[in-house]
Structure 1
């Protein structure tokens, strides 16, 4: 007699257009002893409870049966005894109720407890980064004035922080967006069960679990969407799904949502994401991310509420130690084989030490993945698997990976954001990641700790060909210590974003500007003046520009030491005399006042050709500025000591047509890289 795994007791409240609404009541259990008491209908009994089993979820259930289960196939004595019959979900249970979202929210009142984790005393609760983020969010909600940005490194409990915020803040109707289908499924399951919050007594058992709606498809009518929204406390979907909706559908959602959580929010400045997020009042929006910076240099819009650095995560042991195991192979065909050999050797070592680890060999595209898989498929005892979008049996392969049936996974841009598999501890990097945000997201999947005892993370890559991005050069240097370098790279990039946000927050009326300030990129040039006063009048700038009345658009703003002016002028085109065809020409002026002990200088940068910068600054500083020019400018190079190579010459290997080559000027850098790679000696 095979044991029966009863699923979690959760009710399917609605399933319209493939979009489902669920409410969780209780965890499932295993029935070891039972007896079949009827074949038609098929009924078993265990501990005086009768269970009605059916493969037809629309079957009319006779009166008297309170415990009804949906099975994977028609139940028989044979398939239930041999274990081939699987229970899919509950169709009926005494716990099921008819509750409104408002009744659920009311049950959360005073049901949240701020319990901090204390490992030394065996107390499970919220980790310090989760507690810090939660307090910051709740404080912000008392007087919200902007989008809130929460920075939590991968593995520090970002999702649990969202769950805690939902209950502690009693969010009336929460929208959660994610970037991928796999993450939608994973995070929806967390909201349905409330994760570990009840297990750790952070949330009272009397608190009802939220009614969670999962949007997988478009709705057939606006009425169906409205009904769906009205039935749920929490709605989880992908941003790609929402951005494809009609304006009426988007507006309906915006009108009904009280709070909006954007997961993996470093994507939020993408055009379609930003357009959708901007529909919501700023105070409703919370951006959760591990990396608040982007490859394209765009800045996240909002206020940084909480930032838990990667360095802090390491110091508090949320990240495992990183073992960097590089190879140096200049023959790219041999490099894949050597990386595979080293990764498998490390895996066998870890397994021998009792750590049930998994290798991820990540490649840049499908063809590369197929090439690389050839080097792993020989290790049949480790059951290697190849996975990429479009491969046959993709869902089956993903499920087998989740069941941990494979010790080697070769993939293309898969298992990244949101894929929860703590056993991923060995990364075989066959194709280098090319940016800091992507690199940190990727590495975070391997270094995160969990409540399961696992070993340290290992990264194997070829340092003969470092990434293009200069910011990652340090990672691929010989004897590089990733445990020291990664936190510093992350901290520097994050602090840069925070500093920029704080700088912009010092200006007035930025919302009135037609030009987004975070996108302004002044040219790298300036005129410098000595200043002989400690006061200025930035609002007097108009008197410093000749012909100011010819500019139809005028905007200025300043903080304590920086003035930014944006001007727009309509000009006729050069190639004709038209009133209907005109150019709108934009210009910018930036003034920075550097006032420190023993230093009083003013810097001005402008796109206006022929601007009288002396007149401009005289209007701001009452004529107390003197231009620094001539030989005095070159004093900035005083005491600068820097090694400069004007030429590089080196030998090539034996058997080459060219035995010696020289590099001059800008080509010197190319020569140095070839020396580092060993191509030149």
Structure 2
């Protein structure tokens, strides 16, 4: 391993148009802090969800690290996301995708640490990525028991509001000579404890919205006309909420908890969130609802409610077996579901850009978990996928009596203030940071009964250009509708509105004329692309003898030793590699169960996998092309 890699390599950073403004400015801030000023204090970076935090982690070491870099994440979901982005062999590798480097051989060596990782593999790595649990002192194979304290020159901590916990502090104490960079999207703790370090860079959420890096946000709140509750579920006496408050019969926690568990109240939010989703999905973009429940039992009730509306639902919680969790996550990624319901599982670090409606079915008492949940719908959909501005406006839907107004207003005002702060200003007051500690919740609730007609009130998070464009479009639609009414006065309004929208939508989507042969053709196209095009192209390009078996030592098969062990020839091994990687990417190896969406996803994945395969073969065979016999 070249200890000077991050100093001697020449990445394309400073003038790279493929990098986002906050990524480049965050990198410059860290460079100024450590390399120009020689500051030893921990550097803290605040970036909103969806702006490109993992990319920043991939940039920071260059010019700053004089040796190995350790990246620490708080949980497995985040670790896997970081590893995917920085893995040199991943189709969506950040450094190649963003033109930091053009050649495979220029990339840093990256490994994921596990208890089975040998010392020689650590010694060869430029970047080591692990979950914080692999640093626990009580574990016999903890990383700190395998390497000396000066093994890493730089440590990068993701979701740094966790970093004041004992395990994190002990790890930083052991590697005390390393430069430390801490990244977070929520720079505060519910317990008021501060992060150690200096805030070197903060990017406002409002600016991220204005630049289109993340979605704009609106809240849709259901306000009932009249609401009555019993003091317990077996009581027949009904009290209005005002009576309960005025008489001091129950506190606000009890009221909001009763609302959360009320089927009637949940139905209102379910119905509205489904209507919002259906409107969004008219563009053809696979938008989804993400819902948060109080408990697994509560989540299972919500699954039934959404299924009653014809929705396909994925339920994710901490009690699922790894295979069950993997199947649920695969269904989400491959658009097999329209609704995702989670219980304390898909919080920070889980990113799926098609989550566009956040349905809240539980009370939030603290800002941190509230922001982390809302953050799940903020990741922007790529410009090439956006059909209209609605695609990048996310909606937060909840019942008024969940008592979330203070959290919403605080969130809103903080970001509105940040919009007018100049980008290069640094906040003089220290921000708060931290973990959310679980607390025991009294599950007692009363029965809820609603009377009269309620109403949904929409509140824009911030008046961004997208929301202004939506108002313009709605006004234009109303004008066209009015003109049609004048010409066709006897037609129902809903029919006329459909005529207006059909005109706006343009050409209809492609119709499958032979559904009986559709899947067969998709499968044939994938097989033909791999076996009849990709493998022959690589064999010819690198002068590989298709009938030989000398590729069995290639790093292609490091993760798949069973492929060379199968005693197949070079062409077969290459095809098996592509097939295996495609199956993994789709998340389902049983192709007989694949449908249209799986095959379309596979055709996208295989092109990226082919590029990685090409780069690996070039690094192994490229320099010897002229020496190989034809």
After TM superposition, the score normalised by the length of structure 2 is: 0.56
Quote how far apart the aligned CAs of 1:108 are.
5.7
CA gap of 1:242–1:236, structure 2 versus 1, over 3 A, is: same
**1:413-449 deviations in Å (ceiling 9; x for gaps):** 2222222210000011001332222222222221222
Asked if 2 retains the 8 angstrom alpha-carbon contact of 1:359 and 1:409, the reply is yes
| Residue 374 (structure 1) aligned with residue 313 (structure 2) | no
Quote how far apart the aligned CAs of 1:154 are.
0.9
Asked if 1 retains the 8 angstrom alpha-carbon contact of 2:290 and 2:341, the reply is yes
Q: Residue in 1 aligned with 2:15?
A: 115
| Residue 158 (structure 1) aligned with residue 158 (structure 2) | no
Q: Residue in 2 aligned with 1:190?
A: 85
CA distance in 1, matches of 2:266, 2:66: 50
CA distance in 2, matches of 1:104, 1:144: 20
Quote how far apart the aligned CAs of 1:488 are.
4.3
Aligned residue among 343, 352, 357 for 2:273:
343
CA distance in 1, matches of 2:292, 2:124: 41
Q: Residue in 2 aligned with 1:257?
A: 152
Q: Residue in 2 aligned with 1:22?
A: none
CA gap of 1:183–1:213, structure 2 versus 1, over 3 A, is: same
| Residue 231 (structure 1) aligned with residue 231 (structure 2) | no
| Residue 287 (structure 1) aligned with residue 182 (structure 2) | yes
Matches within 5 A, 1:640-655: none
**1:556-600 deviations in Å (ceiling 9; x for gaps):** xxxxxxxxxxxxxxxxxxxxxxxxxxxxxxxxxxxxxxxxxxxxx
CA gap of 1:324–1:278, structure 2 versus 1, over 3 A, is: same
Gaps of 5+ in 2: 229-258, 435-448, 452-630
**1:54-110 deviations in Å (ceiling 9; x for gaps):** xxxxxxxxxxxxxxxxxxxxxxxxxxxxxxxxxxxxxxxxxxxxxxx3189279622
Q: Residue in 2 aligned with 1:105?
A: 5
**1:289-317 deviations in Å (ceiling 9; x for gaps):** 11111011000001111111223222323
CA distance in 2, matches of 1:129, 1:429: 30
After TM superposition, the score normalised by the length of structure 1 is: 0.52
CA distance in 2, matches of 1:129, 1:259: 21
Quote how far apart the aligned CAs of 1:129 are.
0.8
RMSD of aligned residue pairs (Cα, Å): 3.5
Q: Residue in 2 aligned with 1:434?
A: 365
Q: Residue in 2 aligned with 1:606?
A: none
| Residue 136 (structure 1) aligned with residue 25 (structure 2) | no
Q: Residue in 2 aligned with 1:408?
A: 339
Q: Residue in 2 aligned with 1:641?
A: none
State which structure, 1 or 2, has the greater radius of gyration over its C-alpha atoms: 1
Q: Residue in 1 aligned with 2:106?
A: 208
CA distance in 1, matches of 2:217, 2:304: 27
CA gap of 1:239–1:446, structure 2 versus 1, over 3 A, is: same
Q: Residue in 2 aligned with 1:387?
A: 316
Asked if 2 retains the 8 angstrom alpha-carbon contact of 1:153 and 1:309, the reply is yes
| Residue 358 (structure 1) aligned with residue 288 (structure 2) | yes
Quote how far apart the aligned CAs of 1:489 are.
8.8
Q: How many residues align?
A: 385
Matches within 5 A, 1:620-659: none
Quote how far apart the aligned CAs of 1:146 are.
0.8
CA distance in 2, matches of 1:487, 1:243: 41
**1:238-280 deviations in Å (ceiling 9; x for gaps):** 1122124459852625331111000000111122222222323
Asked if 1 retains the 8 angstrom alpha-carbon contact of 2:381 and 2:392, the reply is no
Aligned residue among 188, 198, 222 for 1:303:
198
CA gap of 1:104–1:403, structure 2 versus 1, over 3 A, is: farther
CA distance in 1, matches of 2:208, 2:279: 27
Say which is worse superposed, 161-170 or 147-156, in terms of deviation: 161-170
Q: Residue in 2 aligned with 1:456?
A: 393
| Residue 318 (structure 1) aligned with residue 247 (structure 2) | no
Matches within 5 A, 1:477-626: 486-488=415-417, 498-501=427-430
CA gap of 1:186–1:294, structure 2 versus 1, over 3 A, is: same
Matches within 5 A, 1:1-16: none
Asked if 1 retains the 8 angstrom alpha-carbon contact of 2:378 and 2:394, the reply is yes
CA distance in 2, matches of 1:282, 1:256: 9
**1:352-384 deviations in Å (ceiling 9; x for gaps):** 13332000111122122112212112234x311
CA distance in 2, matches of 1:318, 1:269: 29
Quote how far apart the aligned CAs of 1:387 are.
1.8
CA distance in 1, matches of 2:357, 2:217: 10
Quote how far apart the aligned CAs of 1:155 are.
1.2
| Residue 472 (structure 1) aligned with residue 411 (structure 2) | no
CA distance in 2, matches of 1:248, 1:272: 12
| Residue 396 (structure 1) aligned with residue 331 (structure 2) | no
CA gap of 1:340–1:448, structure 2 versus 1, over 3 A, is: same
CA gap of 1:215–1:301, structure 2 versus 1, over 3 A, is: same
Asked if 2 retains the 8 angstrom alpha-carbon contact of 1:321 and 1:456, the reply is yes
Asked if 2 retains the 8 angstrom alpha-carbon contact of 1:108 and 1:170, the reply is no
Asked if 2 retains the 8 angstrom alpha-carbon contact of 1:362 and 1:428, the reply is yes
DSSP-derived class of the 1:255 partner? coil
DSSP-derived class of the 2:97 partner? coil
Asked if 2 retains the 8 angstrom alpha-carbon contact of 1:214 and 1:235, the reply is yes
CA distance in 2, matches of 1:399, 1:429: 23
CA gap of 1:319–1:273, structure 2 versus 1, over 3 A, is: same
CA distance in 2, matches of 1:326, 1:357: 20
DSSP-derived class of the 2:364 partner? coil
DSSP-derived class of the 1:102 partner? coil
Q: Residue in 2 aligned with 1:582?
A: none
CA distance in 2, matches of 1:291, 1:139: 23
Q: Residue in 1 aligned with 2:595?
A: none
DSSP-derived class of the 2:150 partner? helix
